[in-house]
Structure 1
Amino acid sequence: MLAIKNTSQEYIGHHLHHLQFDLNTFLWMDAEKISSFWVLNVDSIFFSTLLAVVFLLIVGRIAKIATCGVPTKIQTFMELIILFVDNNVKDIFHGKNKLIAPLSMTIFVWIFLMNAMDLFPIDLLPYIAKLTFGLPFLRVVPSADINITSSIALNVFILIVYYNIYTNGIRGFIKGLIYHPFSHPLCIPVNLILEIISLLSKPVSLSLRLFGNMYSGELIFILISGLLPWWGQWALSLPWAVFHILIIILQAFIFMVLTVIYLSTAHDPC
């Protein structure tokens, strides 16, 4: 029983380990004195980049063959996605900015594609990578990596600060931090603390919400695969996969909607 438990623990730990590149060794640094900040999760970078490239190639191809007459099925499908995103942006964002709709489209589709990698059989791609390239580890769901979700959220945060300053100027941006929600000068320290926390909570909530949901979904697939015999896995993994499709779409949609809301707020004059 202990041997089985240890084997299951090793299996779960193996699937939660990233394929990493240690920059400490590459830069001839002492790994014990350098933080893990210098360690790259190569698998997350590879799959997120690959999915972005695939998305651009597919959309570019659809744009070339698009017609004003009877559209193809793939053109109709893409137009439905564009209309869906555009309608949500129009309902939420009340300013004028040509970047918001393309940004929302990119975020929604890219995150959806990264989330959808969770639907691949948990052992399939790692086994192919090990058999073909001899890779010891491989995690294929980029959005289950806190580094990927944090990097996307950080870019959104930079846009929030930029458009806030662009709309109100640096003086107006600082004024919004120190005179909101209480306009009395004595409340400036309290206002500053509250507004900074509110501002920083936006990228934190974006990254942790997506990461937490996708990490837990991936972990459930790993637990099902690692603790059950092969003939009993489909009884749980298939229903969970069907339910997980909803989570995959919902998390991409929530990230997109919150991004539009935050950027809409950034365009409001102080």
Structure 2
Amino acid sequence: MAAGEELTLTGYIQHHLTNGQVSIGDGWFWKLNVDTLAWSIGLGLIFLWIFKRAANKATLGVPGKFQCFIEMVVEFVDQNVKDTFHGKSRLIAPLALTIFVWVFLMNLMDLIPVDFLPTLAGQIGVLSGAVESSHDVYMKVVPTTDLNLTLALGIGVFMLIIFYSIRVKGLMGFIKELTLHPFSSKNMVVQALFIPVNFVLEFVTLIAKPVSLGLRLFGNLYAGELIFILIAAIGLFQLPLHFVWAVFHILVIVLQAFIFMMLTIVYLSMASEDNH
């Protein structure tokens, strides 16, 4: 951020909405959002550590509060998988648990005051001599406000949809599903004429699944983060407003993690059905 830009609301918002990036090569082809990568990987490791610790300390007797909480989360996810997924796969329940907790942890970063971690990173950069001003350091601490990450999660689910569709229906069955539905006819000539129309409709439906997953999560968290930034720009009276919005935003954080998990289970259940 330029020196004269720091006092303007526009400059303040743009600074907080800009990722810290590292260019690969000359920077024309690929840039890495290092803050998104660092926080998402770090929170993923925290998720693994929490559940590994719970597993190591699990007892058959009277469980402690920590074990009870972890068991409640696992049972909650497992029950939703049993109610929604109609195929047979040992991967779905662990996958659903990972998605729910990991997305929740990434969303949870939204409750940290927006100036705290970026300011701390800026001061560290100045003291280490890496930058001249703390305003030269950019850091977005909520990975799910980065469209690159949310779409990457959606693409991961999309790849699983393709995998389960081919595994259950076979390659030719998957191709037939894309070309012989929803319009069908017993007349082979008429059916052949319907193939391009069917393919367009089914392909758009297929592609819409990962895109909607990524955009829904990104849109809700980005809007919430923007409101936190506007509250922080108020200055003196930001803490009461931050608390009020944070209490309401907790519902959004949990709900978006749950929706992402449930839609993933539903899409994979649809991919595992062989009704035709």
TM-score > 0.5 by shorter chain: yes
Are residues 1:246 and 2:247 paired? no
Local SS of the residue matching 2:32: strand
Distance in 2 (CA, whole Å) between partners of 1:97 and 1:253 is: 20
Map 1:66-77 onto structure 2 (within 5 A): 66-77=58-69
Alignment equivalent of 2:235, drawn from 212, 229, 235:
229
Correspondence for 1:217: 224
Letter aligned with residue 68 of structure 1? L
The answer to whether 1:196 aligns with 2:203 is yes
Aligned twin of 1:95: 87
Equivalence for 1:255: 260
User: Would the aligned equivalents of 2:20 and 2:140 in 1 still touch at CA under 8 Å?
Assistant: yes
Judge conservation of contact 2:5–2:12 (CA < 8 Å) in 1.
no
Shift of 1:90: 0.6
Shift of 1:5: 10
Whole-Å separation in 1 of the counterparts to 2:223 and 2:116: 19
Task: Name the CA distance, whole Å, in 2 between partners of 1:255 and 1:229.
Answer: 34
* TM-aligned CA deviation for residue 4 of structure 1: 9.6
2:62 is the counterpart of 1:56: no
Ranges in structure 2 where 5+ consecutive residues have no aligned partner: 127-133, 186-190
Paired with 1:61 and 1:246, the residues of 2 have a C-alpha distance of 27
1:242-266 residue CA offsets vs partner (Å, 9 max, x unmatched):
0000000000000000000000000
Q: Mapping of 1:106-185 within 5 angstroms? A: 106-134=98-126, 136-184=137-185, 185=191
Alignment equivalent of 1:207, drawn from 205, 214, 217: 214
* Equivalent-residue separation in structure 2 for 1:214 and 1:204 (angstroms): 16
Shift of 1:45: 0.2
Aligned-residue RMSD, C-alpha: 1.5
TM normalised by structure 2 equals 0.90
Tell me the TM-score normalized by structure 1: 0.92
Gaps of 5+ in 1: none
CA contact (8 A) 2:23 2:31 kept: yes
1:91-132 alpha-carbon deviations (Å, 9 max, x no partner): 101111000000000000000000000000111111111112
Within the candidate set 240, 257, 264, 2:269 is matched to 264
Task: Give the 3 Å change call, closer, same or farther, for CA 9–77 of structure 1 in structure 2.
Answer: same
In the aligned structure 1, how far is the partner of 2:225 from the partner of 2:252?
A: 12
What SS does structure 1 have at the residue aligned with 2:8?
helix
Q: 1:10-89 counterparts in 2 under 5 A?
A: 10-23=11-24, 27=25, 29=26, 31=27, 34-35=28-29, 38-89=30-81
Task: Kindly provide the CA deviation profile for residues 56-115 of structure 1, in whole angstroms up to 9, marking residues without a partner as x.
Answer: 111111111100101111100000000100111111011110000000000000000000
| Alpha carbons of structure 1 residues 5 and 66: separation in structure 2 relative to 1, 3 Å | closer
Partners of 1:75 and 1:212 in 2: CA distance? 34
- What does the per-residue CA deviation read over 1:126-178, in whole Å, with 9 as the maximum and x for residues that have no partner? 11111123461111000010011111111110000010000011100000001
Q: Residues of 1 paired with 2:268 and 2:91: CA distance?
A: 11
Sequence identity percentage: 52
CA distance in 1, matches of 2:250, 2:183: 44
The Cα shift of 1:6 comes to 6.0
Aligned residue for 1:195, secondary structure, equals helix
Aligned letter for 1:242?
V
